Amino acid sequence: MLVGLSDLGHAYLGVLNFWSLLFGLGGALIGVIVGCMPGLSATLCIALLTTLTIKLPTNDAILILICSYVGTLYGGSRTAILLNIPGTAANAASCADGHALALRGEAGRAIGIATSGAFTSTLFGVVCLAAFTPALAEVALSFGAYEFFWLALFGVVMSGSIVGDDPVKGWLMGCLGLFVAQIGQDSLFAYDRFTFGIPQLAGGIALIPALVGAFGFSEVLITLADPIERKIVEMRDSVLPRFREVIQYWPTVLRSGVIGVLTGLMPGVGEDAGAWMSYAAAKAVSKEKELFGKGSIDGLMAAETGDMASIPGHIIPCLALGIPGSAPSAVLMSAMIIHGIQPGPMLMINHPQFVYDVVAMTTLAMISILIFGLFLVKPLLAVMRVKRTILMPIIFLLCTVGAFAGASRLFDVYCMLAVGIGAFFLRRRGYQMAPFVLGLVLGGLLDKSLRRGLVLSDGSLLPFFTRPICIGFASVTIITMMLYIPPVKSLIKSVTGAMGRKLRASATL
């Protein structure tokens, strides 16, 4: 405990120097700017910055990435409020109430609420990050191949179920991501799988070019193909953060903070789930339900608090288990691996200080968004006014550089193009990219764990279902999938309906 506190103190002292502050503020500023641009996601921002910071020392690079992660989600609320387009997927829940407030001439107030909610919830998340990551990593030390197999599968299944409107399409995308991760030399025997004699494919499809294609190039195409250019709402009132309203709505802030962190802990669920669940919970207990969607302060506060609290929540499993909680945290995890830090149960043994460094970095990110929320309102509005015909070619230029820079191969640029065009058409047909990304990141772990597990058990599947932690993960994974099978769904409905009727009948007697 005392060692942990001492490490935490060292971590905070470590970021209190000119360069760290500059990198942190710079990363957060880039994040906020990217977040302000409709459609450009935190995943793209972190992927591009990973290539930019590839030559920097590990801690400086990760600091920039974490600050940009937090900044992007915060910046996305501006677009949601002023344009009614979520800057990132996580800000979708803020659109209805935030934009309604803006249309009433209270855009500044809405931005102020978003700033104060974001600051408070990130603070709550940081406390959870510091408290739970070492504990979870200790538990994870008892995990073997069987547990990691289920954990990886659980992440992809949950992501497919929750992200988007159609679980079947989500799971298909998860399978596609897992399959793409199998392309190239396998990890046990270096055997070329699905390379079709193309030597560049032996190394597999690199994660960063695939992500830049899926989230960057496809977004460029979506934006340019949209015939309508959205108009920004004018802002007349003050944007000063409303901490008075945080105190007034403290139950919402606390509830949404807890929900955000808990959803963050679930692998593959994404920040938007935190925002929507917090929003739904706030609506369920609110006395002013009718105001939700029409400019409710409670609703906006819940949505913004939920998505921002889920960021530290997502970093917890990423560090402790090596299983990312969302697409942006998957890129963050890849960046850590590129810089020689292997997230997972061994992290607390190999790099114990790093966990606390991440806590300090997230704190710096939180302070940065408060500073930008206060002082950079007008310049950020100017960013949102830039025409898409100017912005998108520049974004594509960055996508090309981002795809190339990792391994200095033109092949990666071609992969980015192929993935981007494929992602554009898939997204238009209702397929989400997050399960694909999770599949791509977890494919290697799933393959290794399955084969190692089978060797250890001499081909028996029993240990996959009988070990205590496996039972939990396997049950949740299988039940989650079963719940969407129509006959099972109607059976559950009829059983729960009958139970409800019996309970009501006994209550009336």
Partner 1 sequence: MSSPDSPAADPAAAPHQTEIGRRSDFVAALGWIALGGAILFGSWKMDRLESQDVNPYTVPGLLPGLLGIAMMLLGGWLFLRSWRRGGHESSTGEPHLSRPKISIRQLSLAIGLCMTFDIVLIGHGLPFWLAAATFVSVAILTLQHSQRKATGQRLTLRALISAVAIGLSAGLAVTVVFQQIFLVRLP
User: Which residues within the stretch 175-214 sit at the binding site for partner 1 (CB under 8 A)?
Assistant: 175-176, 178-179, 182, 186, 188-189, 191, 193-194
Residues 148-167 binding partner 1 (CB under 8 A) are 161-167
- Pick one of 432, 440, 473, 474: the residue that binds partner 1 (CB under 8 A): 432
Residue 492 binds to partner 1 (criterion: CB under 8 A) = no
Q: How far is the CB of 99 from partner 1 (least distance, A)?
A: 11
- Choosing from 37, 220, 333, 335, the residue that interacts with partner 1 (CB under 8 A) is 220
The verdict on 92 binding partner 1 (CB under 8 A) reads: yes
- Choice from 2, 55, 199, 506 touching partner 1 (CB under 8 A): 55
For residue 185, what is the enclosing H or E element?
strand 184-185
**Which class for 260: exposed (0-12), middle (13-18), buried (19 or more C-beta within 10 A)?**
buried
Site for partner 1 in 224-243 (CB under 8 A): 224-227
Specify the stretch interacting with partner 1 by CB under 8 A; choose among 111-119, 322-330, 424-432, 464-472: 424-432
Q: How far apart are CA 66 and CA 328, in angstroms?
A: 10
Which own/partner pairs from 450-459 qualify as long-range (CB within 8 Å, at least 24 positions apart)? 450/145, 450/149, 451/188, 452/145, 453/144, 453/145, 453/146, 453/149, 456/144, 456/145
Count each helix (H run) and each strand (E run) in the chain, helices first: 24, 2
Which residues, numbered 255-274, are part of the site for partner 1 (CB under 8 A)? Answer: 272-273
Of 117, 136, 76, 171, nearest in space to 262 by CA: 136
Closest CB to partner 1 among residues 485, 491? 485
**Does residue 292 come out as left (phi exceeding 0), alpha (psi in the -120 to 50 range) or beta?**
beta
430 touches partner 1 (CB under 8 A): yes
Answer for which of 89, 211, 358, 364 binds partner 1 (CB under 8 A) is 89
Terminal Cα distance for the chain, rounded = 55
Round to whole Å and give the CA distance between 462 and 477: 16
136 binds partner 1 (CB under 8 A): no
Phi, psi of 241 (to 5 degrees): -55, 140
Binding flag, residue 103, partner 1 (CB under 8 A): no
Does position 218 bind partner 1 by CB under 8 A? yes
| Closer residue to partner 1, CB minimum distance, 89 or 201 | 89
Shortest Cβ 423–partner 1 spacing (Å): 9
Choice from 39, 260, 322, 328 touching partner 1 (CB under 8 A)? 39
Q: Is 390 in the site for partner 1 (CB under 8 A)?
A: yes
Region of 244-252, 345-353, 374-382, 412-420 interacting with partner 1 (CB under 8 A): 412-420
Residues facing residue 192 across a β-bridge: 185
Query: Binding of partner 1 at residue 54 (CB under 8 A)?
Result: yes
Asked if residues 348 and 340 have their Cβ atoms less than 8 Å apart, the reply is no
Determine contact, residues 406/206, Cβ cutoff 8 Å. yes
In sign, the C-alpha dihedral spanning 19, 20, 25, 29 is: positive
Instruction: Using CB under 8 A, pick the residue from 16, 168, 462, 479 that binds partner 1.
Output: 168
Nearest distance from C-beta of residue 255 to partner 1, angstroms: 18
Query: Which amino acid is present at 389?
Result: T
Give the residue, chosen from 23, 24, 27, 51, that forms a contact with partner 1 under the rule CB under 8 A: 51
Instruction: Note whether 193 and 397 are within 8 A (CB).
Output: no
Residues numbered 440 to 479 that lie near partner 1 (CB under 8 A) are: 446-447, 450-451, 454-455, 458-459
Q: Provide the H-helix boundaries in 286-376.
A: 297-320, 327-338, 347-350, 352-375
Q: Is the dihedral of CA 214, 84, 364, 1 positive or negative?
A: negative
Based on the shown chain and the rule CB under 8 A, indicate whether residue 379 belongs to the binding site for partner 1: no
Task: Find the shortest distance in angstroms from Cβ 52 to partner 1.
Answer: 5
Q: Which of 31, 75, 86, 344 binds partner 1 (CB under 8 A)?
A: 86
**Interface stretch with partner 1, choices 139-147, 250-258, 334-342, 406-414 (CB under 8 A):** 406-414
Per-residue three-class SS string for 3-41: HHHHHHHHHHHHHCCHHHHHHHHHHHHHHHHHHHCCCCC
Structural tokens at position 450: 């399955």
Q: Which is nearer to partner 1, 69 or 431 (CB)?
A: 431
